[in-house]
Chains A and B, each alone.
Chain A
Amino acid sequence: MFQMIVKRLLGALPALFGVVIVTFVLTRALPGDPAAYFAGPAGSQEAIEEVRAKLGLDRSLPEQFVLYLRDLAHGDWGNSLTTGQPVLTELAERLPASLELTLAGLVLAVVVAIPLGVLAATRPGAWIDHLCRAITTAGVSLPTFFTGLLLAYVFYFLLGWAPSPLGRLDPYTTAPEFITGFYLIDSLVMGDGATFVAAAKQLVLPAITLALFVLAPLARMTRASMLGVLSADFIRTARASGLHPLKVLFVYAFRNALLPVLTTLGMVFSFLLGSNVLVEKVFAWPGVGSFAIEALVASDYAPVQGFVLAMALLYVLLNQLIDIAYGLVDPRARLES
């Protein structure tokens, strides 16, 4: 088992290498001359040359790539021009906020989508099946930023159920002490019920917005793979042997149907990390996405590159986790590797 995990992680190396090459190319494709930029508008030709030598921009591309790798490994991801802080520190500070939102959205989507898909597959043609189809077709058509605004309008402005859609906490609550950076977990650990409720209230709308978007592919895949498994011979045999219908459904069918759903999770994470940026902007969520957008607007590129790299690393890692989970659920995948 341990060996398999190590093998999987090593298998991620080509993907990681590709990611770093792409971010390197993106860094080099920056508009304008970084040396001229750092030397300032009053910089003379010699000053520009000096900065260029200091930044290593006068060397050949392979040399620059090695320098880039060294800087990345040392945690030097450049500085944000607007805040003056190292990009890596800024990203690390904001990452828990984004992760809390992403995971909340994912959990919500899974909790709704999987039962919906299973129910739709067990009752083809019934109202729940039509509901499932309607949700999966409509769900992928929703622009996340628009659904977010709509939810904010209905639940904040019209109904007044949700707090104002700005940030992770209302202005009267102080953030819990930093333990994991997840406000929900930290406030629970501290035993601070009021903060927990306040944080949960702020989290509900953005999490629903994210969940609505990724619900569709999950429900669609669950339904399709459940339908496929339920018509298989071994299910007929299990039923003919007089096993309890619920046992057939959950022990025999569901476990097998789960595999394609796990595979879809990779795509779902790609959607989640992407639409997270949009949802963060709509709800003024202080995560890495908002940080990247602010930097983009200010033409401050180091944070944007750092953000792209961080998200890609996270995504590669998540895909490896999915692969490992796949091995846990399906013994055949373990044997193959």
Chain B
Amino acid sequence: MSAHHPVPLASTWHTLRYVFGENPLSAFAAALFAAFVLLALIGPWLAPFDPLASHVGEPLSSPSISHWFGTDALGRDILSRVIVATRLDLGIAIAAVALSSILGGLTGAFAGYFGGWFDRASTRISDTIMAFPLFVLAMGIVAALGNTVANIVIATAIINLPFYLRVARAEVRVRREAGFIEAARLAGNGELRVLFCHLVPNVMPPLMVQISLNMGWAILNAAGLSFIGLGVRPPEAEWGIMVAEGAQYIISGEWWIALFPGLVLMLAVFCFNLLGDSLRDLIDPRRRT
């Protein structure tokens, strides 16, 4: 590690080229990721029409020059709605994954390092969560806590918690008795300091892999919940709810209402899964399948 010498830009560039040259799909996924982040940040300024305004075009008109993705039953511009929805969809997923990775990572690290009753209790809780079909548990949590976007985030965070807890716990456990940890202890570091300064940095890479593999699933989960009418309320623009709105028109042939939000949702999930896979190959080549 060159912690004291800043990595020269040329070397970073070289590494990036090596990584992307190895797997061109990763480059594609990275570009797609950048595009989604851009849409989430400046989407509202890019959208040609107001996403909530009805009758900006003839209702149920198919894709045309003025409305690239067509319009829905209320005459709202689907392209604008798809663009603006990016922020909400990614926001829900990022918030949920951040919540569960921090909470799960910390709990797992503590459980792995100190063991004892805390380890048993946290393992028991994560086993109990895993005893449910996860999407069904998310439905139950949102139904019990109340039908809001914040509760979608909480439900998605809870069902993902066990994965982070397990990764962090296992990674800490295998290193707990390692030589460099013994050395850190002998040098007079306190237990918490050993855990946070010496063990947690080693847990970060596998945790990052888990995060990026998890993002796609979190987006799918949140969109699925709003598809069945939980969380996001109409007229808010969100991919899952837009597909739900288009569902009734698809059997009468108005395909564009559901198709475009569905495709973009699929693309976003695909992008995160590809990124997760390449990150995993990079960090942990043994798990490559």
Residues of A within 8 A of B (CB): 14-15, 18-19, 21-23, 26-27, 29-31, 137-138, 140-146, 149-150, 152-153, 156-157, 164-165, 220-221, 223-224, 269-275, 277-278, 281-282, 292-293, 296-297, 301, 304-305, 307-308, 311-312, 315-316, 319
Chain B, residues 251-264, CB within 8 Å of chain A (1/0): the string is 11101001100100
Given contacts A157-B251, A273-B133, A275-B135, 17 further A-B contacts (CB under 8 A): A21-B128, A137-B274, A138-B270, A143-B262, A145-B227, A145-B243, A145-B244, A149-B250, A152-B251, A153-B250, A269-B133, A270-B133, A274-B136, A293-B228, A296-B143, A296-B230, A319-B131
Interface residues of B in 105-153 (CB under 8 A from A): 124, 127-129, 131-137, 139-141, 143-146
CB distance from B265 to the nearest CB of A (A): 6
Closest Cβ neighbor of B221 among chain A residues:
A274
| Residue pair A19, B265 in contact (C-beta under 8 Å) | no
Distance A224 CA – B286 CA, assembled complex (angstroms): 11
Across-interface contacts of A275 in B (CB, < 8 A): 135, 224
Distance A277 CA – B240 CA, assembled complex (angstroms): 14
Distance A144 CA – B266 CA, assembled complex (angstroms): 10
Distance A199 CA – B130 CA, assembled complex (angstroms): 34
B interface residues, tally (CB under 8 Å): 48
Closest Cβ neighbor of B133 among chain A residues:
A273
Across-interface contacts of B220 in A (CB, < 8 A): 141, 143
CB distance from B130 to the nearest CB of A (A): 8
| Residue pair B136, A277 in contact (C-beta under 8 Å) | yes
A152 with B140, Cβ < 8 A, contacts A18-B127, A141-B269, A312-B133 known: no
Closest Cβ neighbor of A225 among chain B residues:
B289
CB distance from B252 to the nearest CB of A (A): 8
Across-interface contacts of B240 in A (CB, < 8 A): 143, 145
| Residue pair A15, B135 in contact (C-beta under 8 Å) | no
| Residue pair A304, B259 in contact (C-beta under 8 Å) | no
Distance A272 CA – B244 CA, assembled complex (angstroms): 20
| Residue pair B141, A293 in contact (C-beta under 8 Å) | no
Across-interface contacts of B244 in A (CB, < 8 A): 145
A224 with B289, Cβ < 8 A, contacts A23-B140, A277-B139, A296-B143 known: yes
CB distance from A117 to the nearest CB of B (A): 10
Across-interface contacts of B227 in A (CB, < 8 A): 143, 145, 278, 281
CB distance from A122 to the nearest CB of B (A): 16
Distance A308 CA – B220 CA, assembled complex (angstroms): 20
Q: B168 in the interface, Cβ–Cβ < 8 Å? A: no
| Residue pair A308, B216 in contact (C-beta under 8 Å) | no
| Residue pair B289, A223 in contact (C-beta under 8 Å) | yes
A146 with B258, Cβ < 8 A, contacts A137-B277, A157-B253 known: yes
Question: 5 pairs across A/B with beta carbons < 8 Å?
Answer: A18-B131, A146-B243, A274-B135, A275-B224, A305-B140
| Residue pair B262, A146 in contact (C-beta under 8 Å) | yes
Across-interface contacts of A15 in B (CB, < 8 A): 127-128, 131
A311 with B132, Cβ < 8 A, contacts A140-B216, A141-B273, A220-B289 known: yes
CB distance from B157 to the nearest CB of A (A): 15
Closest Cβ neighbor of A25 among chain B residues:
B144
Among candidates A143, A269, A308, residue contacting B223 with C-beta atoms closer than 8 Å: A143
| Residue pair B132, A19 in contact (C-beta under 8 Å) | yes
List 5 A-B pairs, minimum CB-CB distance, nearest first: A274-B135, A18-B128, A146-B262, A308-B140, A273-B133
Looking at A138, A146, A164, A316, which has the most chain B CB atoms within 10 Å of its CB?
A: A146
| Residue pair B266, A292 in contact (C-beta under 8 Å) | no
